[in-house]
Chains A and B, each alone.
Chain A
């Protein structure tokens, strides 16, 4: 009896995080390289919109990984940490994000959509930013009104 089993990569489970959390990503790979070398492993959250995929750059973390010279494909693993910097500090907003990991200078990239759920950003900053246009309008009105009054006075003098 022969078992015909196809193995597929295991999908990552969605996990919830709070703004400010540090996330550690573990990757596995095979490699060959002629000399001892060091590569830069990067990881970070990304989101999709109509224009494609966009990394949340402030949250991208990087780590140096040392590769010992081997001429036959050899298994390796590495970790890289990144911080979900809060929106109020110019970081990530609440929402669902993908996770991307890559080795700079190579074609090694791994990613999966919708695995990072971020919450915990305070709404104070958002209220201020939503009121900004209204405040700007009030300020502009305050500047324009005196000007129109002065123009009206000048006409009376003639």
Chain B
């Protein structure tokens, strides 16, 4: 089986102490209803959990907004899926930070983590803002035979370490792609089917 690679570009981030990071995130500071400028959807922000919610059936549903992927990767049972993460980092050295890689379906009730892996990594001190990503990490999943055809979404989050990048439950750095994967199922999909020749034998 083939090794497929999906690269996630996390853009720029810094440690929590860096005030510029807060400016980049542009999170609202007060609870209330907001309108997502990209989708026009009404969403509720709770500063205690630092999460967005939608209202469905009288309950608040956690909203996890995943980005549109730059490409889609076909994977099948037995394939290996390599997820590369890279970002630009400026700040103090960090030891023992974690990256959690997740693959699964993302629906109305949130992301269901079906494949999960945690990688631990260190970041050296960086004083000058880099011009290109200076931190990389990756994890390779083996796609199981029972993979669901809806396991199409991917997200990663970074947390922990010394000094800390933030908590695991409410991570400051989370990023994902909606429908980044195309799961090739156990039923064949046939295209360009045509009669090449026929003759008496």
Q: Quick one: CB contact mask for A102-119 with B, threshold 8 Å, 1 for yes?
A: 010111111110010000
Q: Is the CB of B195 within 8 A of A101?
A: yes
The docked-state distance in angstroms from the alpha carbon of A21 to that of B77 is: 43
| Given contacts A69-B77, A108-B193, A33 and B188 within 8 Å (CB-CB) | yes
Which residues from chain B contact A99 at a C-beta distance below 8 Å? 195, 198
A128 to B189, CA, bound (A): 49
Q: Is B36 an interface residue (CB 8 A)?
A: no
In the complex formed, the residue of A with least CB distance to B78 is A69
Chain A residues with CB below 8 A from B145, complex form: 35
Q: Which of B147, B192, B193 contacts A109 (CB 8 A)?
A: B193
- On whether A35 and B195 interact (CB within 8 A), knowing A17-B200, A22-B201, A72-B2, the answer reads no
CA distance A105 to B190 in the complex (A): 11
Q: Is A37 a contact of B189 with CB atoms below 8 Å?
A: no
Any B CB within 8 A of the CB of A29: yes
Q: Which residues of A contact B1 (CB under 8 A)?
A: 69, 71
A25 neighbours in B (Cβ, 8 Å): 195, 197-198
Contact status B195-A73, CB under 8 Å: no
A23 lies within 8 A of B201 (CB): yes
Please tell me if B186 contacts chain A, counting CB pairs below 8 Å: yes
A81-B197 Cα distance, complex, nearest whole Å: 12
Chain B residues contacting A39 (CB-CB under 8 Å) are 188
Of B76, B191, B192, B197, the residue contacting A33 (CB under 8 A) is: B76
- The answer to whether A71 and B79 touch across the interface, beta carbons within 8 angstroms, is yes
| Interchain CA distance A106-B191 in the complex, whole Å | 10
Tell me, in angstroms, the Cα distance from A107 to B187 when the chains sit together. Answer: 12
C-alpha spacing A99/B199, complex, angstroms: 12
A142 within 8 A of B: no
Pick the residue among B75, B185, B195 that contacts A110 (CB under 8 A). B195
Distance in Å: Cβ of B189 to nearest Cβ of chain A: 5
Complex Cα gap A70–B185 (Å): 10
> Does A124 belong to the interface (CB within 8 Å)?
no
Cross-chain contact of A35 among B2, B77, B190 (Cβ < 8 A): B77
Q: With contacts A26-B197, A99-B195 known, is A106 near B190, CB below 8 A?
A: yes
Are B189 and A29 touching (Cβ within 8 A)? no
> Is A12 part of the binding interface, using a Cβ–Cβ cutoff of 8 Å?
yes
**A34-B185, A69-B76 in contact; A110/B193 too (CB < 8 A)?**
yes
Contact present for B2 and A28 (CB under 8 Å):
no
A67 contacts partner chain B, Cβ-Cβ < 8 Å? yes
- B199→A15 contact, CB < 8 A: yes
How far apart are A84's CB and chain B's nearest CB, in angstroms? 9
Q: Inside 8 A of A35's CB, which chain B residues have their CB?
A: 76-78, 145, 186
Question: Given A70-B76, A71-B2 in contact, is the A33-B195 Cβ separation under 8 Å?
Answer: no
Instruction: Please name 8 pairs of A and B residues whose Cβ atoms are closer than 8 Å in the assembled complex, sorted by A.
Output: A23-B201, A31-B188, A69-B1, A106-B187, A106-B190, A108-B190, A109-B193, A112-B195
Extra contacts besides A17-B200, A29-B193, A71-B74 (18): CB < 8 Å: A12-B198, A23-B198, A24-B199, A25-B198, A27-B195, A29-B192, A30-B190, A31-B189, A32-B74, A33-B185, A33-B186, A34-B78, A71-B2, A71-B4, A101-B193, A105-B187, A109-B193, A110-B193
Would you list the 5 A-B pairs with minimal beta carbon distance, nearest first? A71-B76, A34-B76, A108-B190, A33-B188, A108-B193
